[in-house]
Amino acid sequence: MDGPSFDPGGFYEFDLARGAVFARGGARVLVLSNDVVAPLIAVAAQNGDLTAVRRLGKQLGEQATASLGARPPEVTPELVLGHAAAVLGLFGWGKLGFEQWGSALVVSLDGLPELDDAHLAVSALLGGVLSAMGGREVACVPIGTTERFVVVDPSVAEEVWSWAKSGTEVSEIVARLAPESGP
């Protein structure tokens, strides 16, 4: 559990003279209402283009990595979770949690914003966060209307999502998965 703690102090810089808000690292951010963002996200989800949300997730993951001060794959999951949860919470995306179901990693996001019914926007966001922190592309598949997401390889995400859409619960989804057999 040793590691640098996340310091939320001074994360935002409000430059009233310029009328701008900057996050730690210098990225300019906009403070938007959930009611404003939700319809935009819904349209993007209907059009099947959530790359902007995934890009935002990667930016958040890079910020969490920067605050971590180490390569995330080399530190404990608890440390990665602490920094990632802090960054996501500061941006108002909810409370991040990790659950280990056998070999499967299930990500929870309590109090996530209701942007689209299938949670595809949050799925894209979390996929960006974990991809940036893990150093490889991952997919977060939403489990129905719950606030849980199964982290899988992108090549099997579509099939897992079909299970989830049919009402399969997370325990059964994990039971249907097995580690890939070696060559």
Q: For residues 26 and 183, which CB has a smaller minimum distance to other proteins in the complex? A: 183
Print the binding letters for residues 47-86 with other proteins: x by CB under 8 A, - otherwise: xxxxx-xx-------------x---xxxxxxxxxxxx-xx
From the CB of 4, what's the least distance to other proteins, in Å?
A: 6
Map 80-149 to HEC letters.
HHHHHHHHHHHCCCCEEEEEEECCEEEEEEECCCCCCCCCHHHHHHHHHHHHHHHCCCCEEEECCCCCEE
From the CB of 144, what's the least distance to other proteins, in Å?
A: 14
3 lines the binding site for other proteins (CB under 8 A): yes
Q: For residues 114 and 159, which CB has a smaller minimum distance to other proteins in the complex? A: 159
Binding positions for other proteins, 139-168, rule CB under 8 A: 139, 141, 150-161
Print the binding letters for residues 113-142 with other proteins: x by CB under 8 A, - otherwise: -----x-xx-xx--x--x--xxxxxxx-x-
Quote the tokens at residue 68.
């971590």
The answer to whether 29 touches 23, Cβ cutoff 8 Å, is yes
Query: Which residues, 6 or more positions from 155, have their beta carbon under 8 angstroms from its beta carbon?
Result: none
The answer to whether 48 touches 116, Cβ cutoff 8 Å, is no
From the CB of 70, what's the least distance to other proteins, in Å?
A: 10
From the CB of 18, what's the least distance to other proteins, in Å?
A: 30
CA separation for the pair 15, 181 (Å, rounded): 54
109 lines the binding site for other proteins (CB under 8 A): no
